[in-house]
Structures are given as structure tokens and as C-alpha cells.
A and B are shown apart, each in its own frame.
Chain A
């Protein structure tokens, strides 16, 4: 069964043939982040794919992965394109290097998981929270529930972690 749902007034649609995304978001709905691990080479991959980006093996299993990491880069959106986001500017889109498998299998590779900066409750972050985050900020994964079988993984500031003195922000900030 596919999933049709609504998030921030935006229609989301996972086709019933899209078994990789159905599995990925089912784990997110249980607030238990999982990624595919290649049965041949053992590397974990993101986003969901049908074969391994490193060894092309089609065999994989879903394994739990810790949702913690540091911001690798970001953009801060002031002019929203999609109507769903017009009332939430400025919002942050984060690329987060997971601690899991960081720098593997080569120096410049990491599992870079996309998400918005959100509150611990999973709502898009207010401006004062947006201003605290930059490259290097430690974040932890939280989920925005959408419908049974579908939650979106997001990021919030990891208040329990040791943070950089000053995360890197755009020069005028």
C-alpha cells in the first residue's frame, strides 16, 4: 500500500512500488532511524537506493543508525518557493554528517542526511534558534509525524553535546 498524506499543507505521496522509501519512512514513523547496509561490502548508505553505491550489490538489510552528527553545510531560506514554507521563513536546510561512518569509505565521504532545523518537538525552528546554528553545530535527530507509516527525520540542536565555541555562519551574520 502506498501512502498519501499532507505535511504543512504540502501533499506527500509514496507510491506502493517505492518499497525502499516505504521502508525508510516506516522506521522514521517508529522514531527509530534505519538505513540500508550492503550485504556484500557492509557499508551503510543514504538516501535509500536499490543497489550499493560502492559495490553495486542489490542485497541489503535495514539496520538502526544513531541520529547524531554535526552540520556539514546549510542554507538559510528567506524567500520560500513552496507555499508550504512561506509562513516559516527564515528556515534552515541542514546537511548533517552522521557520526556513523564519517570519513568512510574515503576521506571526503560521509552519510550526509538532509533535514530542517526544528524544535525538539519537531516543528520548524523559530528565528532565535536559526541564528544559533552553523557549520559544526552538533545536532540530534527528531521526527515530525505526518501519518501512520510516515514521519520526516529532522534535526534539532543537541543541547547535551559539547558544542563548538562559535559555529561557522555566513560572514555578515
Chain B
């Protein structure tokens, strides 16, 4: 929807609208990439720079995130002949994307560089499996993990489930409500030729799939894939010279946390997540509120993470997340679709970056679905959301990405179409 009348879009406050995402790029979302994370990262960064209409030499900053499972900025820059004025590889998975966009803005604002590429390259199926099986499952247990892994409490699903179950206990949230997230994201993925899983599944399919750890069925959990993903951030002024309509960054909150991050379960309510705190930074920075947002990218490592964040960022009342994600609101054609690419549940697992890529394309009105391409090279969207059809959100002006690290930490970003 259009920006609220009282919003001063020219305000320099919080650097609102002064920076833009000008390029997005990715590899195929796949299992069995047959290449190194260095190769995946190089392809993704190359594609993002090309998408922006820039040359590699136009980029002079590079940021990446990983958890000991990927390559470093130095190698990607070397492969593409880029001389960097700034680079940093940070530790972390989910919630890193939006946080690094915030850092990129700060770097450019401080005059340390002019255009920053952010990448995540991972063989999340072929090498370090995101589900935690393989080498990580047999590593010795020491330090803080004596209070977690020693109890068979290791994978993301195992670590988060006490929050998920407690939400069901506190608010009466039903399994079939949460399963709707997977069913709806699978509908979106069926209109995304890039998605790893393009087959539609039903709520009944989710509930009939085997348990991993309660309350998570197999189909409540995201896919493990191999892929590289990248975005390019630069100033709104430089963005005018780039290839696509400008997608401006309204506001960012990065790795905002609950108390006691050494073990966040010590501080309740444990059915409340970091978005409860992050929303106090996100919405004032962005100058808009949840009602103004047209499309969301609420991180779906699990069906529950999408629901918990939408609820705690204020898209519905506390405790009503189960209703919000199952009443049609988050479906294409609904009031506010979520993860129109299919997200981590269906498109591919990237620790959040593909959800930002998708919303950039939505705000360009250029979702890469199967709609016909017109003489101007742009897709002629039909807004027919049946299987195999369109996935562009009509009149998409404002997006919100809600990144998730764990129940205790999250990041978020609001973007708008110029």
C-alpha cells in the first residue's frame, strides 16, 4: 500500500531512504552442487553485481557470514578481480543478512567504501549439513555445550522446540494452524521455477509426516540445500545509475536480543521471541508500522519461526499468530503474503539471504515467475496465483524482512519501492 500521508520520506533521520539494495544474485538452489563454497560465492556475487548493472571494480566493500562452513571474502574478491577498501567475515547464520545491511550502511556513511556486496555461500546439504548431522553430531562435547549437547539437545529444531511447545501451551496454538505456513509457502514455491521443492503440499500432508522432535513434523522443517546468494548495497544517489527501479532501505534492526543470551530460556516468557524487542527499533526507524507492509519475509527455518516473529513484530495480537498464519492473510492474493518465493521451507536454505532477494524483486515488480516477458524485457504479471502461475504481489510498495537466529535473537529490515 502507499506510504502513510504523515510519513516524511525525505527525513534524514536514521539514514532512512539514503541507501538502497541495487543488485541481487544467486546460484541454483540444489543438492549436490559439485562445487566449493568459493565457487558458489563467486557465482552469486558475480550475478548480483551484474544484476545491479555494475562492474566488479565498482564494488569496494565485502561482507559475509558463516559458521565455519564457508569461504572468505578475500577469495571471492580475488576470483573477481576486486580490490577491497573494506571486508569482514562474521560468525553467524540466521539474522545476519539484515544485520550486515545495517553495517554496510554504516561503512558507506563513514566514507570507508562506496558499494558493499554481502554474500552467503554454503553446501548445507553436501558438506556441513544444516540439520546438524554428520561431523558436527560426533564432535566432543565441551564448554557451554555440556549443558545442551550432552542431553541430546543440539540441532536447531531441538534447541527451539521448548519455545514452540510453550507457545501452544500458553495460547492454545494448534498444529494445523502452524502447518498452514508450510502449505502456503509450498503454493508460493509452485510458482517459483527456482525453488528446490515446487510441489504443493497440504496441511494434512504436514501433519501426516513423521515427527522429528515435538512439535515439529518433518514438513515443519526447512530444506537443506547447497547455494550461494548475494546482494549489493550502495547509496540511494548511486542507485539512480543502476539497472533496476530503486529499492530503498527504510530501517534496519540487527541481532536484537532477549536478556540472558548465554541461555535465553532463563528469562521468560519463553513463548515470546526477540521481535518483541526488535519492533521497538524497527518501526520507528522505518517510519511505518506493520499495517503499512505489503509483503513479509518472516524467516521460516521452521513453520513456527514464521508465526512467532509475525506475532511479536505486531502483525497480529500476541497469541493470535496461529490464526494469522492460517486465515489466508499470508497467502499470495491475501492481505500480506509471506515468503512469496517459498522461503527456507521450499525454495532453499540460505540463512535468510534469499528472503531479502525475493522482496527486492517484489518491490521492483519483477518477481521471476513464469509470466510472459514483454517487449520491454520485463515480465507481464497476470496476478493469477494458480499453480505454475504468477507470484508477483500487486501494487507492492513496502516489505519487511524478519530474520531469525534463535528465539533470543533476531534482525529485521523494511524496504520500499522508490
Instruction: Enumerate chain A interface residues (CB-CB to B < 8 A).
Output: 7, 10-15, 18, 21, 25, 46-47, 49, 53, 72-85, 88, 91, 93, 95, 108-112, 114-116, 135, 152, 168, 170-172
A81→B158 contact, CB < 8 A: yes
Given known pairs A76-B214, A82-B152, the reply for A109 and B143 (CB within 8 Å) is no
Q: Does B132 contact A (CB under 8 A)?
A: yes
Given known pairs A14-B142, A49-B262, A82-B138, the reply for A172 and B154 (CB within 8 Å) is no
CB contact between A80 and one of B152, B162, B270 (< 8 Å): that residue: B152
B152→A84 contact, CB < 8 A: yes
B137→A81 contact, CB < 8 A: yes
B262→A47 contact, CB < 8 A: yes
Chain A residue at smallest Cβ distance from B129 = A81
A75→B162 contact, CB < 8 A: yes
Show 13 residue pairs from A and B whose CB-CB distance is below 8 angstroms, ordered by the A residue: A12-B142, A46-B266, A47-B147, A73-B270, A75-B161, A75-B162, A76-B213, A78-B212, A81-B158, A93-B153, A112-B263, A116-B151, A171-B175
Chain A residue at smallest Cβ distance from B138 = A83
Given known pairs A81-B131, A81-B155, A135-B166, the reply for A53 and B266 (CB within 8 Å) is yes
CB contact between A72 and one of B161, B211, B213, B270 (< 8 Å): that residue: B270
Given known pairs A85-B152, A171-B168, the reply for A14 and B146 (CB within 8 Å) is yes
For the complex with contacts A75-B162, A78-B210, A109-B267, 11 further pairs of A-B residues with Cβ separation under 8 Å are A47-B262, A73-B166, A73-B265, A77-B212, A81-B155, A83-B137, A93-B162, A95-B270, A108-B267, A114-B148, A170-B214
> Contact size class for B?
35 or more
Q: Does B376 contact A (CB under 8 A)?
A: no
Chain A residue at smallest Cβ distance from B132 = A81
Given known pairs A21-B146, A168-B169, A170-B215, the reply for A81 and B154 (CB within 8 Å) is yes
Q: 4 closest Cβ contacts across the A-B interface?
A: A75-B161, A108-B268, A73-B162, A85-B152
Q: Does B174 contact A (CB under 8 A)?
A: yes
The prevalent SS among residues of B at the interface is mixed
A74→B165 contact, CB < 8 A: yes
Closest beta carbon of chain B to A172's beta carbon, Å? 7
In Å, the complex CA distance between A169 and B83 comes to 57
In the bound complex, residues from chain A placing their C-beta under 8 Å from that of B140 are 11-13
A81→B133 contact, CB < 8 A: yes
In Å, the complex CA distance between A73 and B148 comes to 15
